[in-house]
Amino acid sequence: MPLNPTLIRQQFPSLDRSAIFFDNPGGTQIVRHSLERMQRYLLECNANHGGAFETSRRSDEILDEAHAAMAEFLNAARPDEIVFGHNMTTLTLHLSRSLAQWLQPGDQIVVTRLDHDANIAPWLLIAEDRGCRVVWVDFHPEDCTLNLEEFQKALERQPEIVAFGYASNAVGTINPVRQMTRLAKEAGALVFVDAVHYAPHGPIDVQDIGCDFLVCSAYKFFGPHLGVLYGRYELLSDLKAYKVRPAPNNPPGKFETGTQNHEGIAGLLGTLEYLAWLGAQFGSDAAEGLREEGFTGRRLLYKQAMTAIRAYEYELSRALLVAIAAVPGTRIYGITDSKQLDRRVPTVSFTLAGKHPRAVAEALGQAGIYVWDGNYYALAVTERLGLEDKGGMVRVGAVHYNTVQEIERLHDALNQVAQQP
């Protein structure tokens, strides 16, 4: 059974307006379940951690439930493999500082030019601090797919850390993360995966991937501003945490510095409840095959929801590529072959001849269509494509609450922009 866009959109209060939200890669709209969870938290159990009174106990119960639900969403082995923080960038900077204690001068760290800078700069910083060497892996400019031959050559150096993204926030490319992780582990490296941009688009299974660490951000998949880090428990347990002395010595508390964003964590729980609700719409027939694969409970519902989202978004990707390519003067960066939609998410970046990306974004904004322009913090991408000093690109990012009809409106508005002198 396909997704029902009308039913989906009813779950997002901010969509009840004429604007079209294609700015989703920078942050999606929040689902009603999440809003209600945050409001209930603030009204009913707004308290700090570890108190000997009712509101604190109820608060801790919600935080524990959120850890457990997020562990099931990512298929982590245990809830205390989930660390919450301010955002992905902050969590990555903190973790990289801890990992730096295990590095020696001359050690190798692998990064890719296809990544958001939050999965590059932290590794550059610790390499500088510890006297390590950074090995860069390039991508193919013609379709913005990672150069896997160069990746394998980088692994021959036996790096200590390998960092790469699940999907590019700039051009939508999905990397073969399972294959890349296997190769990196065979080379003896720790593997850090940035799944921020993939999380709203498809199912994630950290045990199947085999990575050591994976990060994502709740506000990129229909929740509040909050970062999430998965780490293998034995690694989180062994790593030094930069924390205050009274804080816990065990994960995840040792890494969850200071008072957390409790209402945000409650909101994330609401987001996951929405995805479970969405998965339940597909009934027992859809679940039968997944149960045979070992999926049960919430994990089964999450899998159903994200699999359905992924299938629906193939249609959105196809429609976006056709609509943008049909406008005279556009150039799309990334995979455009309709037979390779399984290798991208519905995030499409492009330039329009004779128009600065900012001017295009402003014109579309005036038409009620919200898109991003620039480098989206994927600085290495726009530099490699020779676009950084030209204003970068225009980025259109769809998620499962968007529709083909909205993409048709985008085409009409973009066509008008192209015809303006």
Query: Which long-range contacts does 281-285 make (Cβ < 8 Å, 24+ apart)?
Result: 281/1, 281/4, 281/7, 282/1, 282/308, 283/1
SS3 384: helix
Collect the ranges in the chain with pLDDT lower than 50.
none
Q: pLDDT at position 2, please?
A: 83
Structure tokens at 20: 């079209």
Are the C-beta atoms of 136 and 113 separated by less than 8 Å? yes
Q: Using CB atoms within 10 A of its CB, is residue 55 exposed (0-12), middle (13-18) or buried (19+)?
A: middle
Q: pLDDT at position 286, please?
A: 60
Are the C-beta atoms of 181 and 206 separated by less than 8 Å? no
Q: What is the pLDDT of residues 197-225, one digit of tens each?
A: 999 999 999 999 999 999 999 999 999 99
Q: What is the pLDDT of residues 87-117, one digit of tens each?
A: 999 999 999 999 999 999 999 999 999 999 9
Give the DSSP letter string of 56-117: HHHHHHHHHHHHHHHHHHHT-SSGGGEEEES-HHHHHHHHHHHHHTT--TT-EEEEETTS-G
Q: pLDDT at position 283, please?
A: 66
- The model carries a pTM of 0.96
CATH label, 5-30+304-419, candidates 3.90.1150.10, 3.30.70.640, 3.40.50.300, 1.20.59.10:
3.90.1150.10
Residues in the chain: 421
Torsion, Cα 385 390 396 397, to 10 degrees, reads 60
Torsion, Cα 37 40 46 51, to 10 degrees, reads -80
Residues 246 and 244: their CA atoms lie apart, in Å, by 6
Are the C-beta atoms of 66 and 269 separated by less than 8 Å? yes
According to DSSP, the β-strands at 227-231 and 139-140 are unpaired
Are the C-beta atoms of 247 and 259 separated by less than 8 Å? no
CATH (residue range 33-273): 3.40.640.10
All CATH 3.40.640.10 domain ranges in the chain, comma separated: 33-273
Q: pLDDT at position 421, please?
A: 83
Give CA 404 to chain center in angstroms: 23
All CATH 3.90.1150.10 domain ranges in the chain, comma separated: 5-30+304-419
Q: What is the pLDDT of residues 290-302, one digit of tens each?
A: 666 666 688 999 9
